[in-house]
Structure 1
Amino acid sequence: MPQQMPPVWSPSELNEQREASIELFRIERTSEPLEQYLTQFEVSKAAIDTILEMTVDLETVEESAAEILGDADLADVARYLASPPISNDDLRTIANSSTAPSKVREDPEAALRLMKVILLGLDRERFPWFSEARQASEAERNTAAVSTAAMHAFRWVETWRRNNGKQIQEAAVKSFLSDRCGFTEVPTKKIPNLSQAPNPGEYCGETLVGSRKADIVVRLLDGRLMPIECKVSNSGTNSYKRINNDAAVKASVWTNEFGSVNIVPAAMMSGVFVLNNLEYAQQKGLYLFWAHDMGPLKEFVELAQ
């Protein structure tokens, strides 16, 4: 008897599902409260105000490097003194130093190197007085603080949206597997081969499957392994990265490592996706499910036994 396989959607079916997903994305974004940004803005504003106060409007910023960069909240905002803001990875690489606050506090020389790298990109439009070696006016100080806080809060909300969306989707899939499919969650462990996988009827969270990580790993009742990638996309361009350049590549690797009879690579999707990206992913052996309609996942799981 041939193995039961997940649905492979026609172009019209894919388009119908992706349009429903996009509409839900629109509703979520337009109804998302402004409070999230405003709350973070207040936190960011307090941090940049503290930095300006403790350094006398940056006059003693190098002397205060360890104190600033040794505090996680202040250090995160301090990277936004530069324009564009310097990433934590770039800062660590360029300064050839750890950026972990606990280590920075214990190493003033490293703190100074890190601060000097930030100051190399100091935004002269926001902090004109620094390069002109003069005192800041109250208006300049306030403008610099507000604009820096706005930049930091905006980026924070962007990251929060991306991470929170993925976490919400993963939690929803796990809940669905437990409550609707009757599967049991078990502790995570690496899965180099099928013998190390969860038992049939079980699943686990993010782990290494062969040589690639999967967000959720399901052991179907027929013994096959179904690694699920949870993908949240906020644009058509982003959908290529999420589906084609990541999940579809993993599907090919897993199929090669475990064999097509042992594995069913899948992706759970929400947000904005381009039709031809979805079609390409299916051609590469990735099975697609939608967070707004998990009925097909339940149907497949029940039949795969």
Structure 2
Amino acid sequence: MATLTPAQVALHTNEAQLAKQRYILSRTPVRDASDWHGALRLSRQLIADALRASTFLTDIPAALRASGTHMLVFRHIMAPPTSQDQFALMCPTWRKSTERPPDAGRTRRPMPVLQAQNAAAVFLARRSQSLTPWLDAGRRPFPRELRRLLWSVAPSIANQQFVTLQRGKAAVAQEGAVISMLQRKGWIRRPGSLLDTRAELPLRHFMHKTRYATAAATPQEVDIAMGLRNTVVLAMECKVSNDQTNSVKRVNDILKKATAWKTHWGSFVKTAALLQGVIAPKDVIRLHEAEVEVFWSHDLTAFEAWIDSQT
């Protein structure tokens, strides 16, 4: 475990403050309002899709067998609306991985039959009766009831989607800046694939959104993998955080991957973190103590200089 000097702690505390100020300045009223309305539109579409797939909530298992994503909507129609972790406690057979984020860009994952039936049973036992009166009456819903459910549930889902949307846009720009810098310096981009042998990524080559093998059964995805000298690979994680609570989650994800890679590959994989947004200084220190190289999006020239020193 690496120990930071007081000067290093002060330096990274200052960098975290600079990142926070840049985040605050980026949150303009016009941009926030635009993102919020986009999140509302997405939420309404998700609700409409879930109602259609479940025949207005009368066949929840069928909807979940078609796409586990619909569970996002069903959780928010419960009384009270329920988080993924809380729902997993209520329904032990349910898996969060079946509820793909709407912006995942991947094929929706259907839910296994038994899991769908169990999840449906929990939902029906805990649904908001005031928002779903047609189920108790055994009839089709009136248009006004559907409108009430839509306008009641959409803001709750949109609140989560708003945060995800903003973080996702920032992450795309963050990764894009690194890729542009590498290409400008003459690095060669290779298609993403499973990295499972040493020297598979040559010097000054890189991959975007690839997977790196670990001793565990499931490889860990890395945002950008870069070939350094002496067959060393840099596994860079690009992380954007909206607040200090979120920064704990982001940093924990980096540390989990760093530990897995170090256990499997030793010194032949270095882990780096490119940070942006609101990052707690204590979390930056945790990264350094785990020997993760830390860089900041607002000072990409420092990362560029470091890369030059490693190639």
Q: TM-score, normalised by structure 2?
A: 0.73
Query: 2:246 matched to 1:238?
Result: yes
- Counterparts in 2 of 1:4-15, with a 5 A limit? 10-15=8-13
Counterpart contact for 1:266–1:288, Cα < 8 Å: yes
SS at match of 1:303: helix
Counterpart contact for 2:241–2:276, Cα < 8 Å: yes
Find 1:248's aligned residue among 238, 250, 255: 255
Aligned twin of 1:290: 296
Query: Which residue type is aligned with residue 229 of structure 1?
Result: E
CA distance in 2, matches of 1:18, 1:228: 18
CA distance in 2, matches of 1:287, 1:207: 19
CA distance in 2, matches of 1:288, 1:185: 23
Counterpart contact for 2:16–2:281, Cα < 8 Å: yes
SS at match of 1:93: coil
The sequence identity of aligned pairs, in percent, is: 21
Query: 2:227 matched to 1:219?
Result: yes
Aligned twin of 1:62: 58
RMSD: 4.0
Aligned twin of 2:93: 93
**Are residues 241 and 79 of structure 1, via their aligned partners in 2, closer, same or farther at CA, if it must alter by over 3 Å?**
closer
CA distance in 2, matches of 1:254, 1:64: 40
CA distance in 2, matches of 1:254, 1:222: 17
Aligned twin of 1:258: 265
CA distance in 1, matches of 2:59, 2:302: 61
CA distance in 2, matches of 1:47, 1:79: 12
Aligned twin of 2:102: none
5+ residue gaps, structure 2: 1-5, 100-106
Q: Deviations over 1:111-165 (max 9, x none)?
A: 7765443222212354467558899898766443311122222222233234333
Tell me the CA shift for residue 46 of structure 1.
5.8
Tell which structure's C-alpha radius of gyration is larger. 1
CA distance in 2, matches of 1:191, 1:33: 39
SS at match of 2:238: strand
CA distance in 2, matches of 1:202, 1:220: 8
Comparing 224-233 with 154-163, greater Cα deviation is found at: 154-163
Counterpart contact for 2:295–2:302, Cα < 8 Å: yes
Aligned twin of 1:5: none
Counterpart contact for 2:69–2:109, Cα < 8 Å: no
**Are residues 183 and 46 of structure 1, via their aligned partners in 2, closer, same or farther at CA, if it must alter by over 3 Å?**
closer
**Are residues 191 and 167 of structure 1, via their aligned partners in 2, closer, same or farther at CA, if it must alter by over 3 Å?**
same
Counterpart contact for 1:86–1:118, Cα < 8 Å: no
Aligned twin of 1:171: 176
SS at match of 1:294: helix
CA distance in 2, matches of 1:118, 1:103: 17
Q: Deviations over 1:57-98 (max 9, x none)?
A: x6xx42586479747887753443223146498579359xx8
Find 1:208's aligned residue among 209, 212, 219: 212
Tell me the CA shift for residue 294 of structure 1.
0.8
Comparing 133-142 with 147-156, greater Cα deviation is found at: 133-142
Aligned twin of 1:272: 278
Aligned twin of 1:191: 195
**Are residues 223 and 176 of structure 1, via their aligned partners in 2, closer, same or farther at CA, if it must alter by over 3 Å?**
same
Query: Which residue type is aligned with residue 18 of structure 2?
Result: A
CA distance in 1, matches of 2:156, 2:17: 32
User: May I ask how many residue pairs the two structures share in their alignment?
Assistant: 287
CA distance in 1, matches of 2:203, 2:53: 59
**Are residues 54 and 231 of structure 1, via their aligned partners in 2, closer, same or farther at CA, if it must alter by over 3 Å?**
closer
SS at match of 2:226: strand
Aligned twin of 2:33: 34
- Counterparts in 2 of 1:87-126, with a 5 A limit? 87=84, 90=88, 93-94=93-94, 115-126=120-131
Query: Which residue type is aligned with residue 30 of structure 1?
Result: T
Aligned twin of 1:25: 23
Tell me the CA shift for residue 289 of structure 1.
0.5
Q: Deviations over 1:183-219 (max 9, x none)?
A: 11112222233232x1101011221144443221111
Counterpart contact for 2:224–2:237, Cα < 8 Å: yes
Aligned twin of 1:80: 76
